[in-house]
Amino acid sequence: DLIFSDEFMDDNRQFADGMDTRWTSEDRPGVTNGALQYYNSSHVKTSDGMLVIETTNQDASWDEHDMNGTYLDSFTRNYVSGLVSTWNKFCFTSGMIEVSLQLPGRPGTGGLWPAFWMLGNLGRAHYLESTKGVWPWSYDTCGDSEEAKRQLQGQKYTACKDGSRGRGSPEIDIIEAQPGDLVVTYPNVSHINGSNYNTSVGRPMITTSLQVAPGIDHNIRPQVPDLPKQGEWYKTLYPIGGEEYSPGMNGMLNNYWYGQVISDYPLPEIWQDGLSVNTQHDDRFYEEQHVFRTEWQSGKDGYIRWYWGDKFIHEINAKTLQSKPGAKDTVTQIPYEAMYLILNTDVSPKWGWNSCNMSDPCIQKLPDVCNPNGDLICTDCSNPRCVQCEDQQWFKDFCQDINPNDPAKFKVDYVRVYQDHNDPTHTVGCNPPGLETRQILQDNWEKYTFDPGVNKQGPLRDIAHGGGKCKGIQDCGGANRGGCVEGVCECSTNKWTGPFCVTPFKGEFATGKPLAS
């Protein structure tokens, strides 16, 4: 059954807080993975029957305050982009997620990080206070091994209290795209058939992942960028080959991401695991729409399967997780929390950026352009020193691709979610019985709110029923949805709401009350 569909057919929809019953676009800086962008809701729009997320090389500034509203400091970023999510508006557990999208930028030019992904509703993307102790936990066991007892200190809501469930905010990355022209070759890579092969995966490529915690213990983990040694990684997830992979796709284990430290106190540190696969693709994904599909089934026999159209990419299942090295009472579960949808484009030097050629005489004369490790640290497109050297031609191309007059555009034709109504594990809602989130969010509202010392209204505004300023009926959804009366939209039906009567009247944030003047 189709339980969610957004075809983005209404042009000029707005997704800022308080505008839409399904989606909310952010107005705040990105804060993870070395983000360089500021998210602005003006960069998320609908046009020609598609959702469009734009990325530009322009400055954005903002102020931050303490909890009393006292000014602390001002900040500036050199890039502006967009993130839009269904956090705390539309969530579900288990199902099939399908998206049709066209990637932004050019396939051979690195710099952009477009993604479509999911998080458990207990964590709000880019709100670090909300994700402490919950991202990306997917662990419902009160283990009694020494390893389990130590790792449980990093989980905020554990199963070690009578009647409690282990709670968290696991992550499923449906697609993360990495453009560029780098090709990495790996010699003598082990295959499930016992043979070794020379293999290579290059950009442009996509990454599909499951992020869970607790991860493999600190002393037996593989080290980036080495491929795992025997006993360091999930036994069934070979670097290449095996039942988890499609035999017809050029994909292999993502050896540049095995996870990260999520708690460094008390020592030794606690890690999460990124079960991740890179798959090479071609230029067409940046030129036309393509369909991606993910099947998520929770439960003891659960799985996550990723597809390009009808082509299988790879699978992570309960058997995969059970092959985790270390104590058996630290094994994670296929996500069982209610999860929400996220679409965004980031700009980060940790994703698809070319290294500097430190032997280039031009680079050597500009110590403020690259650090000794070969990382580009001059990242302002308006600074001529950043694009002065021939070695940095890729960065010059990247800056041209995100010109404010002709921005890079991440185009999404539709997002759909299907469920089996006969399967009791398939549920809809952000506050499911036994795994509620509403009270936790209400009790900790400031952790889910940007600059809460000023934004006292909380994480999400209610959706008004009309009240937007208008010049004519088309500003109010058209004749079947609303009218423009004395310069103000009045919604004429309870099927459509929002200040401009263009979002479905559903969900707890649809108040039925007009926008206050």
Please, are residues 142 and 154 in contact by the beta-carbon 8 Å criterion? Answer: no
Between 185 and 270, residue with greater pLDDT: 270
Please, are residues 364 and 356 in contact by the beta-carbon 8 Å criterion? Answer: no
What CATH number is associated with residue 253? 2.60.120.200
Q: Give yes or no for residue 260 having a pLDDT over 60.
A: yes
Q: Is residue 406 part of a domain?
A: no
* pTM of the predicted structure, to 2 decimals: 0.95
Tokens representing 497? 């709401």
Same domain, 377 and 502: no
For position 145, what pLDDT does the model report?
97
For position 489, what pLDDT does the model report?
95
* CA proximity to 116, closest of 345, 279, 334: 345
Same domain, 284 and 372: no
For position 123, what pLDDT does the model report?
98
Kindly state the percentage of the chain with pLDDT values over 90. 76
For position 191, what pLDDT does the model report?
64
Q: Is residue 493 part of a domain?
A: yes
Q: Per mean pLDDT, which range of 1-5, 192-196, 228-232 is the poorest?
A: 192-196
**Confidence bin at 343 (pLDDT 50/70/90):** very high
Burial of 179 (0-12, 13-18, 19+ CB in 10 A): buried
Same domain, 326 and 384: no
Q: Once rounded to an integer, what is the mean pLDDT over residues 142-164?
A: 93
Same domain, 379 and 467: no
For position 192, what pLDDT does the model report?
64
For position 241, what pLDDT does the model report?
58
Range of the domain at 471: 463-517
For position 390, what pLDDT does the model report?
85
Same domain, 309 and 210: yes
User: Residue 514: which residues within 8 A CB-CB, separation 6 or more?
Assistant: 464, 465, 466, 467, 490
CA 79 – CA 501 distance, rounded (Å)? 32
Q: Give yes or no for residue 245 having a pLDDT over 60.
A: yes
Between 168 and 510, residue with greater pLDDT: 168
CA 451 – CA 268 distance, rounded (Å)? 33
State which H helix or E strand residue 345 sits in. Answer: strand 339-347
Q: Give yes or no for residue 240 having a pLDDT over 70.
A: no
pLDDT tens-digit map of 447-489: 999 999 999 989 999 999 999 999 999 999 998 899 999 999 9
Q: Is residue 277 part of a domain?
A: yes
For position 332, what pLDDT does the model report?
98
Q: Give yes or no for residue 436 having a pLDDT over 90.
A: yes
Kindly state the percentage of the chain with pLDDT values over 70. 94
Q: Is residue 384 part of a domain?
A: yes
Into how many domains does the chain fold?
3
Q: What is the mean pLDDT of the chain?
A: 92
Same domain, 193 and 303: yes
Q: Give yes or no for residue 517 having a pLDDT over 60.
A: no
How many CA atoms lie less than 13 Å away from 48 in the CB half-sphere? 4
Same domain, 134 and 105: yes
Same domain, 187 and 216: yes
Same domain, 373 and 292: no
Same domain, 482 and 517: yes
Task: Report helix, strand or coil for 130.
Answer: helix
Tokens representing 318? 């309960």
Same domain, 200 and 227: yes
pLDDT tens-digit map of 362-412: 999 999 999 998 999 999 999 999 999 988 899 999 999 999 999 999 999
Q: Is residue 436 part of a domain?
A: yes
pLDDT tens-digit map of 47-94: 999 999 999 999 999 999 999 999 999 999 999 999 999 999 999 999
Please, are residues 331 and 322 in contact by the beta-carbon 8 Å criterion? Answer: yes
Other CB atoms within 10 A of residue 429 CB: 16
Q: Once rounded to an integer, what is the mean pLDDT over residues 25-51?
A: 97
Q: Is residue 430 part of a domain?
A: yes
Q: What's the first-to-final CA gap in the chain, in angstroms?
A: 41
For position 172, what pLDDT does the model report?
99
For position 254, what pLDDT does the model report?
82
Q: Is residue 351 part of a domain?
A: no
For position 230, what pLDDT does the model report?
84
Q: Once rounded to an integer, what is the mean pLDDT over residues 203-209?
A: 91
Q: Is residue 354 part of a domain?
A: no
**Confidence bin at 279 (pLDDT 50/70/90):** confident
Q: The dihedral of CA 266, 267, 268, 271: what is its sign?
A: positive
**Confidence bin at 242 (pLDDT 50/70/90):** low
pLDDT tens-digit map of 95-144: 999 999 999 999 989 999 999 999 999 999 999 999 999 999 999 999 99
User: Residue 256: which residues within 8 A CB-CB, separation 6 or more?
Assistant: 224, 225
User: Residue 144: which residues within 8 A CB-CB, separation 6 or more?
Assistant: 329
For position 32, what pLDDT does the model report?
92
* CA proximity to 98, closest of 74, 116, 124, 112: 116
CA angle 260, 264, 265 (to 5 degrees): 155
For position 244, what pLDDT does the model report?
65
CA 116 – CA 138 distance, rounded (Å)? 20
Give Cα separations from 162 to 165, 166, 169 (angstroms). Answer: 9, 11, 21
Q: Give yes or no for residue 248 having a pLDDT over 60.
A: no
Same domain, 197 and 240: yes
